Amino acid sequence: MALEHAILVSLLEQPGSGYELARRFERSIGYFWTATHQQIYRVLKRMESDGWIDVREVPQQARPDKKEYSVAAPGRTALSRWLHEPIEPESVRHELAVKIRGAAFDDPVALIREVERHRQEHTDRLARYLAGERRDFTGPDAPATPDAGQELQHVVLRGGIAYERMTLAWLDDVLDTLHRLGPGD
């Protein structure tokens, strides 16, 4: 399980509430890990009862109070232990690829609009990542001499950018193939 460790990393970078974590998982953490707010709240409960994180009730004006979590010493120890364990190289789950191979037994051309929709979504993601990179790492407001944490965040973001670029190129390949199959088949 890596969700608890992803939460530890995120809280070490910046303490926050379950709600804030959920939004980070939609944004920066989203390009290598996803989680819904229900999952996050449940895991936060467990981590708190295990003593991995501390809570602080924070009253707010103009919005409901929140519980701000921060990493406690046992949480740091648990993260460190996990960092030194080997993990399995990840394996992909790509539903669209299942559909593409399945299209051989249906109408390949009917898939074009779906692939174009995915292409649009990946175009948007790439634009978001590039905007984030300019804002935090390569733009004029970025730190001139980044520390280790920023270097590591940047290299992970470059991975997200590379993934989106690769995916866009592949989706173009898929579209070419589907178009070729249209008239000739």
Residue 10 in contact with DNA, rule: CB under 7 A: no
> Do β-strands 66-71 and 53-58 pair in parallel, antiparallel, or remain unpaired?
antiparallel
What is the token pair recorded at 76?
């740091």
Residue 60 in contact with DNA, rule: CB under 7 A: yes
Burial 159-175 (b: 16+ CB within 10 A, else e): ebbebbeebbeebeebe
CA proximity to 14, closest of 87, 81, 71? 71
Among 91, 140, 143, 144, binds its own copies (CB under 8 A): 91
CA 27 to chain centre: 7
Among 49, 105, 140, 143, binds its own copies (CB under 8 A): 105
Window of 18-26, 73-81, 153-161, 171-179 that interacts with DNA by CB under 7 A: 18-26
Q: How far is the CB of 44 from DNA (least distance, A)?
A: 6
Residue 14 in contact with DNA, rule: CB under 7 A: no
Q: Are 67 and 17 in contact (CB under 8 A)?
A: yes
Please provide residue 57's backbone torsions phi and psi, each rounded to the nearest 5 degrees. -75, 125
Residues that bind its own copies in the complex, under the rule CB under 8 A: 2, 5-6, 8-9, 12-13, 30-34, 76, 79-80, 82-84, 86-106, 108, 110-111, 114, 117-118, 121-122, 148-149, 151-156, 158-159, 162-163, 165-166, 169-170, 173-174, 177, 180-181, 185
